[in-house]
Amino acid sequence: MRVNVMSVVVVGIQWGDEGKGKIVDLLTEKADMVVRFQGGNNAGHTLVVEGRRFVFHLIPSGILHREKMCVIGNGVVVDPFVLLEEMDTLEKEGFEVTPDRLKISARAHMILPYHRYLDLAREDKSGGKIGTTGRGIGPAYEDKVGRRGIRMADFLDPGIFAEKLKVNTQWANFVLTRYLGKEPIDPAEFERLDDALRDRLRPFVTDTSLLLNDSAAAGKAILYEGAQGALLDVDHGTYPYVTSSNTVTGNVCCGAGVGPTTIKEVVGVLKAYTTRVGGGPFPTELFDETGQALRDKGAEYGATTGRPRRCGWFDAVAVRHAVRINGVTSLALTKLDVLDELDAIMIGTAYRLDGNTQKGFPALASDLERVEPIYETLEGWRRDITACRAWEDLPDEARAYISFIEETVGVPVDIVSVGSDRAQTIIRRHPFGG
């Protein structure tokens, strides 16, 4: 079967929070389907549409387009209570979430109450070293690779679910009480996992791999939506300060059940500066009033946790690493307007480690903690750009900043965001064409 290739992947290429939700929402206008392929409800995609703010944790942000189908792939770990809460919130806002608009993979693993308890207890024992959100994502992925996970298909079979739940609860309570020094899980935590919940979810669950491959063969335009960012990838990120899944483009194939030949374009989303949440190395981090100004003007507080984000200058070394491992074909630069008031803007172009200059991204977190960024300084534009709608509208200095990023990273910037609203966007080239 020869596939009519019409698929675009959107991935974050910093430490998450790059503004992927807005870019996905924008590109969804030319897509037929929007697919989440990894992560869980530790991710938060925020959209502002006509002044209304929406935050998505599991359901693809394309759900705001009423004629589109959204898919939660097998690579996602699904907390059923969070999912139903999102569905109910959307319904209250006037957006129908019906089985013909949302599909969930039967092979997607579930996040259950004991996963959250384990996550929080371990973070408490480690003294908050990693900075997990405590949503149970890590333990759910551990169960998956440990071959004891509970999938949506298992949940829909009451007998299989009851047997697996009994065994997994015993194991979780052993770890909680004997190693982590916590109380065992109260059986009442599982009372809500009843037939009513099962019956409500059943119509949404299907073989999404088959659905996506049939859709690709029929020439449907499919948009794959990543969560977190490449520098949080469990293999390629700043290990161990990473998330529990592969966040890079390659995981589309595993996390959605499609082949690499179905992918046409890879859009890497990045901020005009850099942020990260939680622990871990951050070479270009700012601890001065400029860092606080970026945080305040950029509203840099987590959509999922509310935690303040660490802020710093643009790090071209980290971005080049992310571009390479994702096969990025174009960039979407967000929050350029946050830099409006700065007289000078710096870009980290290389690192100095132990007296040696290097352009590569070290594998050891301890090395990244010690590197000294080498900066290039560019002139700021010192004016409001939020009303710009075309490349020519941007100040010369803003265009020079973007061009410098393109030259340093080696990938064109095709989309520029100058504000939080959908309309505050400059599109130089659309990844779906046209």
- State the catalytic residues: 17, 45
Distances from the Cα of 364 to the Cαs of 81, 161, 284, in angstroms? 37, 41, 17
Amino acid at 430: H
| Cβ pair 267, 10 in contact under 8 A | yes
Query: If we measure between CA atoms, which residue out of 320, 377, 389, 371 comes closest to residue 347?
Result: 377
DSSP of 372-433, one letter per residue? EEEEEEEE---S--TT--SGGGS-HHHHHHHHHHHHHHTS-EEEEE-SSBTTSEEESS-TT-
Rounded to the nearest angstrom, the gap between the alpha carbon of residue 75 and the centroid of all alpha carbons in its chain is: 13
Count CB atoms within 10 A of the CB of residue 412.
Answer: 16
In the chain, how long is the greatest CA-to-CA distance?
Answer: 66
| Distance (Å, whole) CA 102 – CA 289 | 44
Residue 271 dihedral angles phi and psi, to the nearest 5°: -80, 160
> In sequence order, which residues have a C-beta less than 8 Å from that of residue 136 and are 6 or more positions away?
40, 77, 79, 111, 112, 115, 116, 117, 118, 119
Helix axes 113-126, 158-174, angle to 10 degrees: 20
Cis peptide before 240 (omega within 30 of 0): yes
Strands 109-110, 222-225: parallel, antiparallel or unpaired by DSSP?
unpaired
Alpha carbons within 13 A on the beta-carbon side of 72: 32
Angle made by CA atoms 224, 228, 232, in degrees to the nearest 5:
125
Query: If we measure between CA atoms, which residue out of 274, 268, 271 comes closest to residue 290?
Result: 274
| Distance (Å, whole) CA 137 – CA 167 | 19
| Distance (Å, whole) CA 186 – CA 115 | 13
